[in-house]
């Protein structure tokens, strides 16, 4: 009798990715592919072209899940071919070398990895927003919030990342995170690990077409860790929201044209103004301190939209303390005091100028200015952050780099035997 299954004309071929051996490429042929695509999607495959889907995981468990999806497809009446190399990986017996959770068996290790994969995917999809991260001396920790759900603390990296705590509100989660990790905290998501970068590269090298060849792609940007003064600007909007969530004593309102947010301290002697439309070297932030709610301004400072958020965060954190006024609430900043406060910068061959009105620390990509009467404690804190702080910067390969040439070189799906999977022994 003829096959009357809805996807009788569909066919799926599963093979190892030619350049990222643990990743799996699914090539679909036929005219009725909706069931095949839905089944592949259910096990983590992502579209990579009209007739190609790709499975990339941070735990290198793609062969295991490829076998699961092959059985599901066959149960649905869809023929599946698995290349010999992939079949060998599916059948291989393995153990995790030096896995820290020594009490877990292989199935339990997979459950931990599956949870870590979900966290990774939720971050990538924007379902989980990371507010801050830190290094606790052993691994990376972070605090974030799910859309319309709880805030969480995360512990670990790659296939070992777990939810270590849950909170009802972002404010509560961030406050506890700062209590635990203090000065080690940095704003936003931690730099991508090598495993995460490899996964991103595999997804970028999309496999497509009936010959299952790697399509040309643009050079893939990668993230590198750099001194904070050389970091990318980051998300200033997120920094504003984080600051207001953390400091309940500050109240915000938007101006009538809805392009500026003004935040006032409950004492009415501190103010931060945020320009939502400012870009590049336009002034994004203006902060100011007053001796009383009706007195003249004691001092003020500005930061451009291109200033790294970690530096602006240091400025805001200092403004939110008594350092905003100085110990006697009548700050003065003679040149000698400023010179001493900025000594770490001078030791690193930075220059600052005092022209009677402003203290300016110059960088070609961004600008931070403080009026000359800014408290020396604030200047000293900013100087320390600029010398000691760390940030991230996106790096894109040059047009003729080996990375780009590799990405643009076509190759058959089963081009070469797979390399040994990192962290596991067979």
- The radius of gyration of the chain from alpha carbons, rounded to an integer in Å, stands at 27
| CA separation for the pair 344, 229 (Å, rounded) | 14
Quote the domain boundaries for residue 290: 236-392
How does DSSP assign 64-97, residue by residue? HHHHHHHHHHHHTT--EEE-HHHHHHHH---EET
The pLDDT value given to residue 367: 87
pLDDT at position 341 is 62
Report the pLDDT value the prediction gives residue 2, as an integer from 0 to 100.
Answer: 40
- Residue 290 to residue 282: CA distance in whole angstroms: 24
Query: Residue 13 has what pLDDT?
Result: 93
Token output for 178: 């700062």
Instruction: Say if 298 falls within a structural domain.
Output: yes
Are 382 and 269 within one domain? yes
197 and 305 part of one domain: no
Tell me what pLDDT residue 397 has. Answer: 54
Q: Are residues 106 and 141 in the same domain?
A: yes
Are residues 154 and 174 both part of a single domain? yes
Residue 423: count of CB within 10 angstroms of its CB = 15
* Domain co-membership, 256 together with 173: no
Query: Distance (Å, rounded) from C-alpha 252 to C-alpha 265?
Result: 9
Within 126-254, residue ranges assigned H as helices are: 170-181, 194-204, 236-246
213 and 293 in one domain?
A: no
| 230: in domain | no
Contacts of 240 (CB under 8 A, 6+ apart): 261, 263, 274
d(CA 415, CA 420): 16
pLDDT digit of tens for each residue in the chain (426 aa)? 344 444 457 899 999 888 777 789 999 998 778 889 899 988 889 888 778 899 998 888 889 999 999 999 999 899 999 999 899 888 876 666 666 777 777 788 888 888 999 999 888 888 899 999 999 888 999 999 998 788 999 999 988 899 999 999 899 999 999 999 988 999 888 888 888 888 887 777 654 433 334 344 444 556 677 888 888 888 898 899 888 888 889 988 876 556 789 999 988 889 999 998 888 888 999 999 988 888 888 889 999 999 999 899 989 988 887 556 554 444 444 566 666 666 666 655 666 555 544 555 654 578 888 887 888 888 888 888 887 787 877 765 554 444 333 333 333 333 333 333 334 444
Residue 110 belongs to some domain of the structure: yes
Q: Which residue blocks in 82-192 are alpha helix, DSSP H? A: 84-91, 106-125, 170-181
Q: Tokens representing 206?
A: 């999309």
Give me 43's structure tokens.
């096990």
Answer yes or no: do 170 and 307 share one domain: no
Q: Which two tokens stand for residue 209?
A: 């077409």
Strands 80-82 and 11-16, by their bridges, are parallel
Specify the number of domains making up the chain: 3
Q: Answer yes or no: pTM beyond 0.75.
A: no
Co-location of 248 and 383 in the same domain: yes
Do both 158 and 78 map to the same domain? no
Longest dimension (CA), the chain: 95
At 42 the pLDDT is 86
- For residues 261 and 379, membership in a common domain is answered with yes
| N-to-C CA span, the chain | 44
412 found inside a domain: yes
């Amino acid at each position: 009798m003829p096959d009357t299954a809805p996807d009788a004309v569909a066919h799926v071929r599963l093979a190892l990715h030619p350049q990222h051996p643990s990743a799996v490429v699914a090539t679909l042929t036929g005219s009725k592919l909706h069931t095949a695509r839905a089944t592949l999607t259910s096990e983590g495959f992502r579209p990579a072209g009209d007739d190609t889907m790709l499975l990339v995981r941070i735990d290198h468990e793609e062969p295991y899940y490829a076998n699961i999806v092959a059985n599901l497809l066959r149960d649905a009446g869809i023929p599946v071919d698995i290349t010999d190399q992939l079949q060998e990986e599916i059948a291989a017996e393995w153990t995790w070398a030096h896995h820290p959770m020594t009490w877990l068996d292989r199935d339990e290790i997979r459950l931990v990895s599956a949870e870590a994969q979900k966290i990774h995917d939720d971050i990538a999809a924007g379902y989980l927003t990371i507010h801050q991260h830190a290094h606790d001396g052993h691994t990376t920790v972070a605090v974030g919030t799910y859309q319309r759900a709880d805030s969480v603390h995360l512990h670990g990296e790659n296939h070992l990342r777990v939810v270590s705590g849950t909170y009802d509100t972002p404010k509560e989660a961030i406050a506890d995170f700062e209590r635990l990790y203090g000065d080690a905290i940095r704003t936003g998501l931690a730099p991508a690990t090598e495993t995460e970068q490899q996964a991103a590269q595999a997804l970028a090298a999309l496999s497509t077409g009936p010959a299952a060849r790697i399509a040309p792609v643009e050079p893939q940007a990668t993230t590198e860790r750099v001194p904070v003064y050389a970091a990318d600007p980051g998300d200033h909007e997120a920094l504003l929201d984080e600051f207001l969530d953390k400091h309940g004593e500050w109240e915000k309102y938007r101006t009538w044209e809805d392009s500026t947010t003004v935040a006032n301290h409950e004492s009415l002697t501190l103010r931060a103004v945020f320009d939502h439309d400012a870009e590049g070297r336009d002034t994004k932030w203006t902060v100011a301190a007053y001796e009383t709610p009706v007195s003249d301004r004691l001092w003020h400072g500005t930061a451009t939209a291109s200033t790294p958020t970690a530096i602006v965060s240091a400025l805001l954190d200092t403004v939110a303390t008594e350092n905003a006024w100085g110990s006697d609430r009548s700050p003065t900043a003679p040149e000698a005091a400023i010179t001493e406060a900025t000594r770490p910068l001078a030791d690193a061959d930075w220059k600052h100028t005092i022209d009677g009105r402003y203290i300016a620390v110059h960088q070609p990509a961004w600008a931070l200015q403080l009026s000359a009467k800014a408290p020396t404690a604030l200047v000293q804190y900013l100087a320390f952050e600029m010398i000691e702080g760390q940030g991230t910067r996106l790096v894109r390969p040059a047009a003729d780099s080996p990375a780009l040439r590799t990405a643009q070189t076509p190759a058959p799906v089963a081009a070469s035997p797979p390399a040994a999977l990192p962290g596991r022994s067979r």
